[in-house]
Amino acid sequence: MSRNVPQNGFNELKQLLNVKAVEIFDKYLGLPTMIGKSKTRIFNFVKDRVWKKLKGWKESTLSRADIERMSFNIALVAKNWWRIYTQPETLLAQVFKGVYFAQGDLLGAKRGYRPSYAWSCILQSSWIFQEGGRWKIGDGSQVDILHDQWLPQGVPIIGSQDLMAEFGVSNVSHLIDHAAKSWKYALVDFIFYPATVSHILKIPLPLNGSVDTLMWPETVDGNYCSKSGYIFVRRKLLGACSSTSSQPSLPAPLWKKFWRTSVQPRCKEVVWRVVSSLLLVRAALRRRGMDVDPLCPVCADEEETVFHLFVSCPVA
């Protein structure tokens, strides 16, 4: 209740609703329920806790609950970033633009001086689109050749940076013959390696000279949704926690086909964890410094490894 509510009115409302009054606000889902003016002071404990977990191997492995909660929150906040980008005419987008990027666009927006808590959260979620977004080429003027994602997923940009500097080539627009509405084949072939050249020349160019558009490749229509964002962030966080994995992962196209299969989600997750060395068998826990019995709890004959769990164990 607000401090402006008189005590007698507060008591009457409490009796009418038959509820108890909470005198001290605690936390919900690990976060404070009441936030004052100093957001930095309120959330310092979150930063300190995450930092402690990221320092060492035992601490760097975020718990399953931590990853789920972080993925969910980041994906929801990123939805606001996408709305501002795709709906610049809305009041929300115009307010943020007027305050934080009046002379530019959202993609180049900075944090600014003493930003609001909402803007700080929205801006921090932009990494999702920098890493997971893909550019649909229009005139190429907004797309940086080396730093933006504009080639098909998994295709590296292999070329000579010295030649790019010599010819003054920095964004995709420099590779396009705008009069002929086609790629400058000779220039592309001269700067980039053959594997990259073939993929560049396969990208269709619009005939009407439209602008470049940032798309979200995790959905069919190219529009970001919280569900696909949650899956993307969760995959990134789990991948970061498996940095010591010695097993090679599958190529991106195979993963993409695999996630689209009609297999039960839990089964797909188990397969993904096995391939990525994320399955917490006892041998893996021992390598992470945990004091556990390495023997298989079912047969007690061999060390519990992924191979033993699924193949060599008599009960497998």
| CB contact set of 236 (below 8 Å; sequence gap of 6+) | 131
Cβ atoms of residues 93 and 105 within 8 Å: no
What confidence tens digit (pLDDT) does each residue in 143-162 have? Answer: 999 989 999 877 888 888 88
Q: Distance between CA atoms of 218 and 228, rounded to whole angstroms?
A: 6
> Taking 80 as the threshold, does the pLDDT of residue 190 lie above it?
yes
On whether residue 235 sits in a domain, the answer given is no
Top mean pLDDT of 25-34, 135-144, 298-307 is at: 135-144
Gyration radius from the chain CA atoms: 26
Which of these ranges, 13-27, 90-104, 157-171, has the smallest mean pLDDT? 13-27
Please tell me whether residues 198 and 259 are part of one structural domain.
no
**In angstroms, how far apart are the furthest CA atoms of the chain?**
83
On whether residue 239 sits in a domain, the answer given is no
Higher pLDDT among residues 26 and 151, named by residue: 151
In percent, how much of the chain has pLDDT > 70? 81
Please tell me whether residues 199 and 147 are part of one structural domain.
yes
CA distances from 115 to 77, 85, 100 (A): 16, 19, 8
Q: Which residues pair with 135 in a beta bridge?
A: 214
Q: Average of pLDDT values for 212-231? A: 93
Residue 287 pLDDT: 77
The first and second tokens of residue 186, run together, are: 């000779």
pLDDT band at 95; cut points 50, 70, 90: very high
| Domain of 277, in residue numbers | 244-312
On whether residue 172 sits in a domain, the answer given is yes
On whether residue 96 sits in a domain, the answer given is no
Q: Distance between CA atoms of 42 and 153, rounded to whole angstroms?
A: 40
Please tell me whether residues 210 and 259 are part of one structural domain.
no
Domain count, the chain: 2
Which of these ranges, 37-51, 108-122, 183-197, has the smallest mean pLDDT? 37-51
DSSP 8-class letter at 310: I
On whether residue 251 sits in a domain, the answer given is yes
On whether residue 37 sits in a domain, the answer given is no
Residue 227 pLDDT: 93
Please tell me whether residues 261 and 199 are part of one structural domain.
no
Cβ atoms of residues 241 and 61 within 8 Å: yes
Higher pLDDT among residues 99 and 29, named by residue: 99
Q: How many other β-carbons are positioned within 10 Å of the β-carbon of residue 229? A: 27
On whether residue 103 sits in a domain, the answer given is no
**Domain-terminating residue out of 175, 198, 215:** 215
pTM for the model stands at: 0.61
Q: Average of pLDDT values for 163-169? A: 90
> Taking 90 as the threshold, does the pLDDT of residue 185 lie above it?
yes
**Domain-terminating residue out of 176, 196, 215:** 215
Residue 2 pLDDT: 67
Q: Average of pLDDT values for 300-304? A: 85
Please tell me whether residues 274 and 207 are part of one structural domain.
no
Please tell me whether residues 268 and 210 are part of one structural domain.
no
On whether residue 149 sits in a domain, the answer given is yes
What confidence tens digit (pLDDT) does each residue in 31-90 have? Answer: 666 566 666 666 666 666 666 655 544 444 556 677 788 888 999 999 999 999 999 999
Q: Average of pLDDT values for 230-254? A: 68
In percent, how much of the chain has pLDDT > 90? 34
- Helices 117-124 & 64-86, crossing angle to 10 degrees? 100
